[in-house]
Chains A and B, each alone.
Chain A
Amino acid sequence: DAGVTQSPTHLIKTRGQQVTLRCSPKSGHDTVSWYQQALGQGPQFIFQYYEEEERQRGNFPDRFSGHQFPNYSSELNVNALLLGDSALYLCASSPGQVNNEQFFGPGTRLTVL
């Protein structure tokens, strides 16, 4: 049983570019949450997708958008990249919106130059 997978593992972009990160949830999970984790900090909640709709959103600008597909996989898009967007982006899945145990993927390390 595959756990949560994310791609790519690492990514280098320049300021102003756009990036798309991908996540496949654990088998049997229908809810995907995205987090941004800066070095030495805790994860910051970006948004959560359930039934192909954004259900909750953290304090992130509209440059951050997402999508969930019918197979429950998800994408995180970031437009007009800033240096401060450099971070580890984590995807977590759970069976249902309010399940308190989330399963995390290994993350995508984004570097913006």
Chain B
Amino acid sequence: GQSLEQPSEVTAVEGAIVQMNCTYQTSGFYGLSWYQQHDGGAPTFLSYNALDGLEETGRFSSFLSRSDSYGYLLLQELQMKDSASYFCAVRGGSNYQLIWGAGTKLIIKP
């Protein structure tokens, strides 16, 4: 079977740094993606990691450890507009489909 685990909710303060974790269990693994979804909106792509290590794009960084079946999304200099749900998704399995976690709701306080 395939499953992904994410904390359901994380709270942080504006201007701070927050890390959102994702652990996965899949029969095959090709890469880990992160998407952001605001309430009532469509998911938007943030990053993709196929290899171990850290990928940085502006205030967002994503990390992958394939040996630990673990990844995280790091957001720096938090802004109120970053309040959203963040989903990790694994491309894996026998048919290469994208399997999504249940998401982490990020709440930012001023």
Contacts and interface: CB of A to CB of B under 8 A. Distances in A.
B100 A103 contact: no
Contacts of B4: 42
B43 A43 contact: yes
B60 interface: no
Contacts of B96: 56, 98
Chain A residues touching B, majority SS: loop
Interface in A68-113: 90, 92, 98, 100-107
Interface in A34-88: 40-45, 48, 56-58
Question: Interface extent on B, as a size class?
Answer: 20 to 34
Contacts, number: 48
Contact of B97 (A40, A48, A90, A107): A48
B110 interface: no
Interface of B: 4, 31, 33, 41-45, 48, 50, 87, 89, 91, 95-103
6 contacts: A33-B98, A42-B100, A45-B98, A56-B97, A100-B48, A101-B48
